[in-house]
Structure 1
Amino acid sequence: MQRSRIKKLIEWKEKETRKPLLIDGARQTGKTYLLQSLFGEQFDNVLRIDFLESPEMADAFSGSLTPEDILSNIELLTNETFNPTTDLLILDEIGECQRAVTSLKYFAEKAPEMYIAASGSNIGLLNSFPVGKVEQHNLRPLTFYEFLLASGEAALIKAFETEANSAPAHTKLFDKLTDYYFTGGMPEAVSTWFELKNKSILDRVEAVENIHANLISGYLRDFGKYSGKVDAGLIESVFRNAPSQLASVIDESVKRFKFKGVHERKSRYGDFESAITWLDKCRLILKNYPTEGTPRSPLAAYQKENKVKLFLFDVGLLNHMLAIGYKEIKQQGFEYKGYIAENFVQQEFAAQGIDPTFSWGDARAEIEFIATDDQGQIIPIEVKSGKRTRAKSLQSYITKCQPNKTIKLTGTQGSTALEKENIVLPLYYAQYAVSHHLKSSR
């Protein structure tokens, strides 16, 4: 299974000196696989210790935190040798050992030539963190492009990479997109889906649904284990309500997360702030902030924490939590519910580094996303899940805000490459809305 993030890790390796690498991300997004199986191929040897599986390894960090002493202790505890000039050291689930987290500062200052990588699912919850002493990356679930790579279908991958704009390419890519809506991007679900491609569709669907169920159960257990001073029940209430609120208005957008009725005797943002922050730090939700009026850069100036829309971090888990099955997803095809398309676009944008996102609305219109391009211009991005692309809200935005460029992500084939102002892209090319039309330097 290929991950696009590997390119950044190889760039890190090729530097003359480097800060320790830190891979953050929700549990089960493939952090260990990325470091050990994919990135590990770049090294003569990989020495990995997992503080969750082997808590006794914390003893290696109990005394001196100089790199030489730590490596000596690790060699003694593992009975393995480590060559600092050629080998990669992986400190997995580093959040389980605060002293190991602190040691990253000393690796950065005293041994910048070494290859030290760490990963964890609760990095955002740490009490102390070596700010400025690590190169941090957030690993999201697989994007749609990575999902295609996992399929091994060379012709379809080529069509995506070349942004093919033909009827056959559109039919095939949209069909794969609805498969992705079902499986989502969690590595175990994706790998199982394609490993069982010669089995019946019922077997494939059941296997992925079981994986989704186990993942959700695992996250719910984590709430109690890692919630700390935050009410675990409150975290669960917000987590469960994010999908149901997105789905509460069929084929229309929900403007923001509503707090009333989410948890007993709590109805204001202040009651839920700690739980929302916890879920955000653990990468289990994605935030979108609604704006009004004529937006200008920086969009963060319009951000109001008590008015926020919450998406789930994975569209496959979103559908599972809503009990939407594969058959229903495929039957609705091009007319699939708008909130699923929105959640998908939110994921693709987050994977491209746009997090949080922003939206726009007035009394009668709403634009699902607005974003700033490299020139500081605000670009409206409307999401239409079906073939009907008439966009009254977008026209309203154009009248009020007069943007230089507009983008629509739809269930259609899209406009030609010659169109530079009113761009229409098929939903499956959502990542190109960022890389080609917002980040011109990429």
Structure 2
Amino acid sequence: MFRRRAYEKLLSWKANSKGSRALLLEGARRTGKSTLARAFAENEYAGHLIIDFSEASEDIKDLFRMYRSDVDSFFMYLQAYTGARLPRRDSLIVFDEVQRFPPAREFVKQLVADGRYDYLETGSLVSIRRNVEGIVIPSEESPLRLNPLGFEEFLWACGEDALADLIRSSTEELSPLPAPLHRKAERLFREYMLVGGMPQAVSEYLEARDFGRVDAVKRDILSLYRNDIAKFGGTDATRIARVFSTLPGQLAKHDRKFRLVSLDANARGRDYADAFFWLSDAFITSTCLNATDPSVGLAATADESSFKCYMGDTGLLVSHLFADNEETPHEVYRDILLGKLEVNEGMFTENAVAQQLVCNGRNLYFYSKRDDRDWSNTMEIDFLVTRGYDDAAGRMRVSPIEVKSTKRYGARSLDKFKDKFGSRVGTRYILHPRPMEVSGDMAKLPLYASMVL
């Protein structure tokens, strides 16, 4: 199993909850939830039991149906059926793929109240209405999102733990890496953009170092997502599929903003709202909202009618762009790896930065304003985050982030943003394919530094 940030969060949950709350490990399909849950159970508990509801027998399911009011009998029969030995207060029961059997999720309330074991649930699409219909979601359940591997986790998987630590300290201290390490980190970030963070794709790449084989893995995952849309999308399945299929084209636009008219000349926001919610709720995509009057509480002025929609994994986006081809042309992988791809590279770098921000637990916001009467008010800022600002005694300020895929660019939007919002603005960031440069409140960071923001 790859080293994952979420493992530390599982350890914290175990230490702090002491059985008082179950944990729901949720995320997109194939992000490694079951693998992580199994490793955690085996490493951290004297006893464990994993019930996979994608293959559980009806006899096991009947226990959940028949003994809801008799927890003692439930555990007696459960251990008899499974042969598991579960020491009290040192055992973990995992409900894997819990969305396939909602009564088990509802039963968590009584199981937690009983207190003898810890409970970890894993599931995809678990919060979509169809999968919780007719049950009461337990209030004793805390969610933990498992994303595809971020760049830091990708470095760990590559055995580059020391480099990951250096990138983190370099970014936090605004101290450039030595040139050889910078070049190495830049090369690895380009590899990461192509491979992405889906564990199967990363594993295949580390084993074979063959982008063709990695592409085949990613295409299988994309097919799985399309099948999920058809199977679980219900009455919105057609709209969901339409949004999903057009994502690469939307991100190829200069400003990346999603335009409904590209789906249907008569498309309206309310008609497609559930489709976007479905994809976001399944963690297949990440929605980025326009904060029209940005301050520390970015959500307060978010305009849900103006948004960008990123793929949850950049490696999948690369393969999704060429979905009409039998395979992604190897020239695309070569040119991105060598930094020679002129067309569409901006969409990959911006998506990769969005992926790092999500991995760091951030909701996504951007700033966009067009004013035909006063050009000074027209600007596009790729991302907004809130961070402590040294010149404000460490208090939180809004930091605008511009993502550049080429070495030649301008920074007028960042200057306009500072002029317009003044004291609300903290450090301004440019993420570019060059070494670090810092001047005043402007920090130009290598793209790989996005893993720290």
Flag whether TM exceeds 0.5 (same fold).
yes
Gaps spanning 5+ residues in structure 2: where?
171-175, 323-327, 372-377, 389-394
Please say if residues 360 and 370 of structure 1, whose CA atoms lie closer than 8 Å, have aligned partners that are also in contact: no
Cα distance in 1 for partners of 2:349, 2:321 equals 15
Give, in angstroms, the shift of residue 194 of structure 1. 0.5
CA distance in structure 2 between the aligned counterparts of 1:187 and 1:385, rounded to whole angstroms: 26
**Does structure 1 retain, via aligned residues, the 8 Å contact 2:364–2:383?**
no
- Whole-Å Cα distance in 1 between the matches of residues 89 and 42 of structure 2? 14
2:269 maps to 269
Give the structure 2 partner of residue 437 of structure 1: none
Relative to structure 1, the CA distance from residue 300 to residue 131 in structure 2 (aligned partners, 3 Å threshold; closer, same or farther) is farther
2:367 pairs with 1:369: no
- Contact kept, 8 Å, 2:167 with 2:177, in 1: the verdict is no
Tell me, what secondary structure is at the counterpart of 1:305?
strand
Structure 1 residues 300, 319: CA separation in 2 closer, same or farther (over 3 Å shift)?
Answer: same
**Cα distance between partner residues in 2 of 1:222 and 1:285:** 14
Superposed CA offset, 1:45-90 (max 9, x none): 3211111122523222102325434333322332333223222111
- Matched with 2:278 is 278
Instruction: Identify which of 420, 425, 428 aligns with 2:445.
Output: 425
How far has the Cα of 1:380 moved from its partner?
1.1
Give the distance between the partners of 1:421 and 1:39, measured in 2 at CA: 46
2:200–2:217 CA contact under 8 A, matched in 1: yes
Which residue, 63, 67, 89 being the options, matches 1:64?
67
Q: Structure 1 residue 123 and structure 2 residue 126: aligned? A: yes
Does residue 232 of structure 1 match 2:237? yes
2:339 pairs with 1:332: yes
- TM-score w.r.t. structure 1 length? 0.88
Q: How does 1:30-429 map to 2 (within 5 A)?
A: 30-54=32-56, 56=58, 57-65=60-68, 67-111=71-115, 114-125=117-128, 126-127=132-133, 128=135, 130=137, 132-153=139-160, 155-163=162-170, 165-197=177-209, 204-228=210-234, 230-247=235-252, 249=253, 252-254=254-256, 256-263=257-264, 266-292=266-292, 294-323=293-322, 325-333=332-340, 337-363=345-371, 364-373=378-387, 375-402=395-422, 403-415=425-437, 421-429=441-449
Paired AA for residue 56 in structure 2: S
Cα distance in structure 1, aligned partners of 2:89 and 2:287: 41
> Partner of 2:272: helix, strand, or coil?
helix
How far apart are residue 6 of structure 1 and its match?
0.5
What are the superposed Cα offsets for residues 175-194 of structure 1, whole Å, 9 maximum, x if unpaired? 11111111100000001100
Q: CA deviation at 1:376?
A: 4.1
Distance in structure 1 (CA, Å) of the matches to 2:338 and 2:21: 50
Report the 3-state secondary structure (helix = DSSP H, G, I; strand = E; otherwise coil) of the residue aligned with 1:311: strand
Output the amino acid matched with 1:338. Answer: G
Match of 2:392 in 1: none
Counterparts in 2 of 1:67 and 1:424: CA distance versus 1, 3 Å = farther
Quote how far apart the aligned CAs of 1:108 are: 2.8
| Aligned-pair CA distance for 1:131 | 5.1
CA distance in 1, matches of 2:383, 2:50: 41
Amino acid at match of 1:59: D
Taking the aligned partners of 1:389 and 1:159, their CA distance within structure 2 comes to 27
Deviation at 1:151, TM superposition (A): 0.7
Q: Tell me if structure 2 keeps the 8 A contact 1:178–1:333.
A: no
**Cα root mean square deviation, aligned:** 2.2
Q: CA deviation at 1:158?
A: 4.5
Matches of 1:87 and 1:213, distance apart in 2: 38
- Given that 1:369 and 1:382 are in contact with CA atoms closer than 8 Å, whether structure 2 keeps it comes out as yes
- Aligned equivalents of 1:3 and 1:18: distance in 2? 24
Greater Cα offset, 116-125 or 332-341: 332-341
What SS does the aligned partner of 1:140 have? coil
CA change 1:33–1:156 in 2 (3 A) is same
Deviation at 1:328, TM superposition (A): 2.8
Runs of 4+ in 1 over 6 A off after TM superposition: none
Structure 1 residues 334-353: Cα deviation after superposition (integer angstroms, max 9, x where no partner):
96722211111111111111
What amino acid sits opposite 2:285 in the alignment? I
State the secondary structure of the residue aligned to 2:410.
coil
- C-alpha contact 1:6 1:39 (8 A) present in aligned 2: no
CA drift of 1:305 comes to 2.3
Question: 1:84–1:115: 8 Å Cα contact kept in structure 2?
Answer: no
Are the structure 2 counterparts of residues 42 and 383 from structure 1 closer, same or farther at C-alpha, using a change threshold of 3 Å?
A: same
Match for residue 325 of structure 2? none
Structure 1 gaps of 5+ residues are: 198-203, 434-442
